[in-house]
Amino acid sequence: MKKPLLIVESPTKVKTLKKYVGKDYNVAATVGHIKDLPPKELGIDIENEFKAKYVTIKGKSKVIQALKSAAGDTDTVYLAPDPDREGEAIAFHAADVLKKKGRRFYRVLFHELTKKGITDALNNPLEPNQDRYEAQQTRRSLDRLVGYQISPLLWRRVQGGLSAGRVQSVAVRIICDRERAIRIFEPEEYWSIKANLKADLPPNFIATLAKIDGKKAHVPDGESSARIVKELEAATFMVEKLAKRTIKRNPLPPFITSKLQQDAINRLRFSAKKTMLVAQQLYEGIEIGTGGPEGLITYMRTDSIRVADEAAMEAITHVKERFGPEYALDVPRVFKNKNKAQDAHEAIRPTAVLNTPENLKPFLNEDQYKLYELIWNRFVASQMSQALIDQNTISIKAAAYTFTVGGTTVKFKGFMALYAESDEKTDKSDKAKQVLPELTEGMALEREAIIPKQHFTKPPPRFSEASLVKELEESGIGRPSTYASILSIIRDKGYVDLINRYFVPSELGFIVNDLLVTSFPEILDTTFTAGMENDLDDIENGTKRSLSVLNDFYTSFKEKLDHAKENMLSVKGVGIDTGLSCPACQKPLNIKMGRNGHFIACTGYPECSFSSNYVRDEKGLIEIMETKTDNTKVKDCIKCSSPMVKKEGRFGEFLACTGYPDCKHTESVNGEANGKETGAKCPEPGCNGAIVEKRSRRGKIFFGCNNYPDCAFASWDPVVNSPCPECDSLYLIQKETKKEGKLLKCPKKGCKYKESQKE
């Protein structure tokens, strides 16, 4: 009998699956996507109903051949990439390259890589989901139409290497808008007033002014505060009301993707990208001493909080045994999804509650253990009893003023015995509990002191990774599975920096954002972008068609694109108005972009050649940086013989030709042309140049030929002028790893030569 072929996208999954089905199936992996739109062209035929042109991804020809070989002459193929839109696309492309007369293709959805999960999925195969595939194709087409048609505008108007994206550009806008709100924020003064009070028995306690004449207290300034303090010093303090109540607090539901990212960022200091990487490892399978890898969590890309009844009952049984019956529920707790949540997957949960974090700790690395423990605790806690919390609130009257003091006591921990919440639901008074004396209504209190304190309102906070993920989720921007890549892209492109765990837009980020907001207001509108995500969901649900969505989008987009091609401001050319005047000739100064980044320059060029680096103050106002220039001639320029003088730029001192702008030659202060010499010769055939140390436009050190641009050789690793003893490479590179220390390695692909390099 011919074995059917089971196809997944990850080689790691192959090992896990072979543990359970290896004898009955051939198992192969696509190693991610095997087809995509062409990298060097739009790949969307706009005139022919947006037909997409898919090509084999570079390097995947061998993978496709391996799939064909694994399929052999079987007539049954099970397509089991991830159970989401990307997985559906991989499944369709795999079926396309393996199609053969008489061969049947079935879609298999593995929500968990356990014996039960795998068996259930294989026993209930589905047809490939055309609607889900169309949703992925539409999303890919939209991203390509935006990215491949706006990005070239940025290359021409700003600088090469930049990119725009349907979702990433909105994320940058959110960060830029928040930064501008911080810059224009004007703090307002207000005062708090507290009273140190004493009852018949100790201890003393502190009460806070809450109301004035029955209305919420607002003390705007020191004068008002002083007047109130004076009145309070003459007033009698008396206990007006004692209020006691017990509140019930329910646990949070199990994790969805976005909430897992937020909690891992806040609690574990993981990045969103790291969270998804570690979660993928836990899902795909880890060896835990059961004779092969085993999936430890359910699929980690989901926005559903649904939980299978048997999994909930397993948690309840474990809670009874570990904590006692009072901590357990009689029936599983059911959480309701939001209207737009896709219910195809469960929430993220452990595949087996009996696989406790303590039991698995010997088999997991530190990161895997921390994330698994977080997922396990949250899920099990979601099926535990409510916590009971006693709240005491005391109102104290003093003339027209009402003070309050309160406290909370956990009466019964319930789910909090396992998973303490760390979100906005946590009562702030828990952090500063006071021990209160015995008090009764009508009791007179002795005033020990009145404590006024000045405060100022604070600007809105910058976004952390966690709060940006939350903002994107609540605004309906993108999907949780894409957040990690979005956060990485906007940093890699230099649009934002992560400083002390908070996003701060760079000057480049502001420049690109402002140009895009002006030219493409709809693309960067959060409501519009969220609407596009809803359209993709509707395509997947079968209530909308791909062509209709693409037509509606492109009609408006094309109009804006044509206008931008003619009218988008050029930062390379005219530049952006700063509102400042040139200190040399009083003409306007504009922000411009050059090889080394942004700077300000006089609009009177070439008559006036003033230019300077600049910084912005805390309000965003431009401050010209004084460039240190030593006008003493150091040497003659090797290109035009004009005197060279010492200047100071973004990356320290350098020598510049005084013949600028006709001659733009620069050298390091040590006199090496175009960079610091390394002693290594350029390895490019026919080049007589030398390898020098240089800096990129963002300040990163690299190594390149001093004959640039005639020779384009460059390397991020230091080059050593020594041939490889095992191949024809003319040089070696220096590397350093934690495991092997400093090494000399051959840079040629396929050559494995390396040698240890002592200090």
| CATH number, residue 44 | 3.40.50.140
User: How far is residue 461's CA from residue 479's CA, in Å, rounded to a whole number?
Assistant: 24
Catalytic residues: 299
Instruction: Measure the N-to-C terminal CA separation of the chain; round to a whole number of Å.
Output: 62
**360 and 318 in one domain?**
yes
Count CB neighbours of 698 within 10 A: 11
Whole-model pTM over 0.85: no
195 lies in a domain?
A: yes
DSSP for 447-479 reads EEEEEEEEEE--PPPPPBHHHHHHHHHHHT-S-
Looking up tokens 């990212």, which residue turns up? Answer: 261
Per residue in 728-746, pLDDT (tens digit) is: 787 888 888 767 778 888 8
DSSP label at residue 353: T
**402 and 367 in one domain?**
no
Among the candidates 521, 550, 567, a domain finishes at 567
Name the pLDDT band for 425 (thresholds 50, 70, 90): very low
Among the candidates 537, 567, 597, a domain finishes at 567
**478 and 553 in one domain?**
yes
Please say if the pLDDT value at position 672 is more than 50: no
User: How far is residue 592's CA from residue 206's CA, in Å, rounded to a whole number?
Assistant: 58
281 lies in a domain?
A: yes
327 lies in a domain?
A: yes
CATH number, residue 222: 2.70.20.10
CB 598 within 8 A of CB 591: yes
**396 and 368 in one domain?**
no
Name the pLDDT band for 327 (thresholds 50, 70, 90): very high
DSSP label at residue 264: I
Please say if the pLDDT value at position 605 is more than 90: no
Per residue in 330-345, pLDDT (tens digit) is: 999 999 887 554 556 7
Average pLDDT for 489-517: 93
Average pLDDT for 408-421: 89
Determine the longest span between alpha carbons in the chain, in angstroms.
98
Per residue in 368-393, pLDDT (tens digit) is: 999 999 999 999 999 999 999 998 89
Q: Please tell me the predicted confidence (pLDDT) of residue 426.
A: 41
Count of helix runs (H) and strand runs (E) in the chain: 17, 37
β strands within 312-426, DSSP E = 387-398, 401-412
| Alpha helices by DSSP H, 400-464 | none
Name the pLDDT band for 211 (thresholds 50, 70, 90): very high
**23 and 9 in one domain?**
yes
Dihedral sign from CA coordinates of 659, 665, 666, 670? negative
Name the pLDDT band for 671 (thresholds 50, 70, 90): very low
CATH number, residue 496: 1.10.460.10
366 lies in a domain?
A: yes
Q: Please tell me the predicted confidence (pLDDT) of residue 759.
A: 42
The region of weakest confidence among 316-330, 446-460, 702-716 is: 702-716
Name the pLDDT band for 428 (thresholds 50, 70, 90): very low
CATH number, residue 377: 1.10.290.10
Name the pLDDT band for 683 (thresholds 50, 70, 90): confident
Mean pLDDT of the chain: 89
Long-range Cβ pairs for the range 436-440 (8 Å, 24+):
436/203, 436/205, 436/392, 436/394, 436/405, 436/407, 437/199, 437/200, 437/201, 437/202, 437/203, 437/205, 438/199, 438/200, 438/201, 439/199, 439/239, 439/242, 439/394, 440/239, 440/242
Average pLDDT for 230-244: 95
**425 and 529 in one domain?**
no
Average pLDDT for 189-193: 97
**147 and 86 in one domain?**
no
Looking up tokens 């703090």, which residue turns up? Answer: 187
Report the side by side order of strands in the sheet with 719-720: 719-720, 732-737, 741-745, 754-756
**537 and 501 in one domain?**
yes
Among the candidates 382, 405, 438, a domain finishes at 382
Domain span at residue 298 reads 257-382
Q: Which two tokens stand for residue 597?
A: 């980044």
367 lies in a domain?
A: yes
Name the pLDDT band for 689 (thresholds 50, 70, 90): confident
Average pLDDT for 620-625: 86
710 lies in a domain?
A: no
Q: Please tell me the predicted confidence (pLDDT) of residue 702.
A: 83
**143 and 112 in one domain?**
no
Helix pair 507-519, 168-184: axis angle to 10 deg: 110
Closest CA to 368 of 292, 297, 420: 297
Per residue in 54-65, pLDDT (tens digit) is: 999 999 999 999
695 lies in a domain?
A: no
536 lies in a domain?
A: yes
Q: Please tell me the predicted confidence (pLDDT) of residue 508.
A: 93
CB 603 within 8 A of CB 587: yes
Please say if the pLDDT value at position 226 is more than 90: yes
**377 and 263 in one domain?**
yes
**338 and 392 in one domain?**
no
CB 640 within 8 A of CB 665: yes
**367 and 271 in one domain?**
yes
Q: Please tell me the predicted confidence (pLDDT) of residue 670.
A: 55
Q: Give the chain's domain count.
A: 4
Please say if the pLDDT value at position 37 is more than 60: yes
